[in-house]
Amino acid sequence: MYMRIKTTLRICLLSFALLVFSCDDGDSYILKGKITGLQNPELYIVSGIELRVDTILSRSGGFTFRGDSKTVEPLLIYMENGSAWITLWVKNGEKFTLTGDANYPELIMVKGGEINKSLSDFKNDNLLFIKEKYEIQDKLSISVDHSHELGQGINRTHLSSQLKNVDQILKSQAQDFVKANPSSIAALVIIQDYILDIENASGIQPLLDILDEELRISPLYEKLYARSLKDKQTKSGQPALDFRIENTKNDTVSLETFKAKYLVLTFAASRCEFCKPDYPELLAIKNNFPDKELAILTVSLDENKEDWKRLAKEYEIDWMQAIDNSGWASEIASLYNVQSVPCNYLIDKEGIIIGSKLSVDSIQSILSEKLKKTKTAKM
């Protein structure tokens, strides 16, 4: 699924010499790294509440970074033009070492600090499963990129089943880790990295509930709790959340606009390849059900409105559309807990969500059943 994360960052370009300025160890921390397999020597280090970005050049994969953090906080290192990254936890007065392969960022190990030790121990304990996960993901990626060459040589269904099994094993191991470490920030990291399900974020709530009270003031706890709560609020059976957005005809629409109709609320973007098969099916749904019974609203997360307009013309999208050029900062996308696109909701005539993050096929089936019952009741 296409997913674009947009964060406003303050960029600071610092020379290597400036990054190793002299100061007392208690006023800074030192990170030394050795990352093999780097195709691009440029690294982006994101730190601090203000999300400051330092850009440094590694030398044959090696680098040194000196930073300032008076409290324990996450430090993100982005590699390969941002396509791979690792998070470690730093604090002034400590030294950290980072080693691993850029091709396997999840297996990069960090020494220094109790949180990093706990996370590295978890990775070491589950090394074989994590490696197997990477190998299956690589095969799935190859099967997509070269499907015309491979024909039926790679069974995607089988690989997907294998990946699901490995993910389930890692999730089970992660749950055990959290239960054994309820007072450690490492437990929150493990929940985020191995347990949080993009389609069922509220599933992490029982684990959040067992964590010690002191963790609940952590920004990461607050973030995970908010994700869980928002997911719960957008589940089937919940009242649909009201919104206001301007459509492509410059009319402001809200939930009230679709009162007494079933509403298919979809989120998409022009660059989303996985969204494109949905458009003909949505058009079929529009044509199969009367306008007095059904409305469709697609919210595009394109920052450039012309990109969506070109796609809408190409795919003959003639139902209601709105373009939120805030992109992934979109208020309505946040309201409906959209983490990736396509993302589809079905809301009934009373404003109740009756389908959350559905496939278009499922929407078709539910509508057929609902409207069939309505028609039968009127006879």
Domain ranges (residues) in the chain: 10-112, 127-233, 244-378
Q: Which residues in the chain land under pLDDT 50?
A: 1-24, 144-153, 376-379
Pick left, alpha or beta for residue 93 (phi over 0 → left; psi -120 to 50 → alpha; otherwise beta): left
- Taking alpha carbons only, the member of 108, 48, 117 closest to residue 79 is 108
Q: How far apart are CA 303 and CA 271, in angstroms?
A: 11
Listed in sequence order, the residues at least 6 apart from 270 whose beta carbon sits closer than 8 Å to its beta carbon are 300, 302, 307, 308, 310, 311
Considering the entire predicted model, what is its pTM? Answer: 0.75
- Taking alpha carbons only, the member of 371, 357, 186, 146 closest to residue 264 is 357
pLDDT value of residue 332? 96
Half-sphere exposure in the Cβ direction for 332 (13 Å, CA): 28
**Fold match, 10-112 / 244-378:** no
pLDDT value of residue 372? 75
Q: How far apart are CA 139 and CA 135, in angstroms?
A: 6
**Under DSSP, is residue 32 helix (H, G, I), strand (E, B) or coil?**
strand
Task: Tell the CATH topology of 10-112.
Answer: Immunoglobulin-like (2.60.40)
pLDDT value of residue 141? 76
The domain covering 244-378 belongs, at the CATH homologous superfamily level, to: Glutaredoxin (3.40.30.10)
With the C-alpha atoms ordered 144, 146, 150, 151, is the resulting torsion angle positive or negative? positive
pLDDT value of residue 198? 77
